[in-house]
Chains A and B, each alone.
Chain A
Amino acid sequence: MSIKLTITTEMEKVAKEYNRTLAPLTDDLILVDSGLDSLAFAVLVVRLEGELGVDPFSVAEDAAFPVTLRDFVAVYENAAKPVAA
């Protein structure tokens, strides 16, 4: 499963578990308008760490805050890239 699909699948699961109404998951979706609040995002990051094996936000403490879903996916894609030798 691609990173993006993993992320959107987990977003849907968290939204359902926490009774949040999720906006359509387009690339340009502004995360704060996604329907997930801070707690739901906090849960999402933990779930994604379980699925993808990485929490990119704790690796880089000064990581820029992603604004759109595209940015959010990119943070995970960059974190998953193997480090060049």
Chain B
Amino acid sequence: MPPSPSQRNATLSDWLRQNQSSPNWTFWGAHASASLNMLAVGSVFAGRIAELAGRSVLLATADQLTAALALIELDGVARRLTLCAPDVAPEHLPAVVADAEVDAIVSDRAAPEHERLGVDLRAICSPEIQPTETQPSRPYRTEWILLTSGTTGAPKAVMHSLASLTAAIKTRGIGEPAIIWATFYDIRRYGGLQIFLRAVLGGAPLVLSDSKEPVGQFLARLAAHGVTHITGTPSHWRRALWSPAAGSITPRYVRMSGEVADQAIIDNLRAVYPHAKIGHAYASTEAGVGFHVDDEREGFPANFLRETRDGVEIKIEGGSLCVRSPGAAARYLGKGHGAIAADDGFVNTGDVIIMRGERCFFGGRAGGVINVGGSKVHPEEVEAVINRHPDVRLSLVRPKKNPITGSVVIAEVVLADSLAGNGTDARKSEVKGEILALCRENLTQFKVPVAISFVPSLAMTNSGKLARHA
């Protein structure tokens, strides 16, 4: 019997063999490509895969294609796989290694930040597949660990299984036209990983992006490979539509997730791709895939709240969207984190829902988390940095609507008494510069406030917290 997503013991290698008859089954990266049919009888580990048996592996390649191939090989071999995208800051790696009890690092380069981690086993792999005579045994039901941003800036390790990650994936029916996938997202993030898994389970070719590649070149590659299904955040798509190369692709399906898709981006995509189905999906690393919306309107129909769809139930509690799904993560690794789901199995996503008639709309984040082009910013983290400046008494970081990234980060600052009333404008402007310099030193670029304004006071709630929805 061929494996199916419901059979929880299938590994990605089983899917590789299952789909071996797929013609021209290729994954294309920005710099190289690889045949998946060759991978079924080969390896990218140059004979070292056996050393990784039963290990907790940190997969930290720079290149996405290499990561894709290594993931397929390691599923079932490693006890645990932690997916580390290149944008995870080196200073956070020791905590990741501790939380995930990492005892092997797989990379495509000798990196000093990996050497410093004190992990003895380091294996180098490349996107070049070498034929092997035997395949390793794959007895493990590998734990898949995804990293998501936490309030302090350090990533939280979220535990999934292949079964939970593939819960929302339906394989193509017989006779349906072939699919060629592409993703703007990095496959080491939940949104991109979903597309990678769709390609592996469906025997479909896949075009991978590269963070350093100009969008025009990526679009040209999509056109050259005849991509039919493309996924990205609304910000990715806004950026793509700015490119003259946007018209060179003719997708059948354009999919958005990771951020709120507003009506403007849906309409703009409709205008540029008149023959495509334009859809947006709701998913989160913790809750899994919630639902797809295919009626080309922002928000989602209220009847989603009343019916179980593909095994997923949703409800609104305390104004926030809650999701109960077989695709939910099991738990956080490491100390000090609460449970992912409540006792009733629902995951509170923290996304605020506003109902207007029979339609539900997204109203921002309950915890005030700001979404800058698909990347999460916790205001508290930015405020903590601003508050380090000796002349700052209090600060409030909040989102400002932006046509390109959906939101940007802005800050309101209450100065210490010595400056607030009688500080000269010159000194105030100096302080502004110093605060920005402090932020640039300590925060990833998208978290640095785009504008800082000085205010006489900030509103507080009855419980003494900053009023974030003032």
Interface residues, chain A, with chain B CB atoms under 8 Å away:
18, 30-33, 37-39, 41-43, 45-47, 50, 55, 57-58, 61-63, 65-67
Contacts and interface: CB of A to CB of B under 8 A. Distances in A.
A33 B214 contact: yes
Nearest to A58: B403
Interface string B393-408: 0000000111111001
Nearest to A30: B244
Contacts of B267: 62
Given A39-B372, A39-B445, A46-B402, A30 B216 contact: yes
Nearest to A43: B450
17 contacts: A32-B243, A38-B239, A38-B405, A42-B372, A42-B373, A42-B408, A45-B402, A46-B402, A46-B408, A46-B450, A46-B451, A50-B451, A55-B403, A57-B404, A65-B241, A66-B242, A67-B242
Nearest to B406: A42
A37 B445 CA distance: 12
A65 B373 contact: no
A25 B141 CA distance: 55
Contacts of A46: 400, 402, 408, 410, 450-451
- Contact-residue bracket for chain B: 20 to 34
A30 B243 contact: yes
B contact patch SS:
mixed
Interface string B235-246: 100110111100
Interface string B92-122: 0000000000000000000000000000000
Contacts of B243: 30, 32, 67
B214 A61 contact: no
Contacts of A63: 403
B264 A61 contact: yes
Contacts of A39: 372-373, 405, 445-446
B215 interface: yes
A21 to B, nearest CB: 12
A55 B451 CA distance: 15
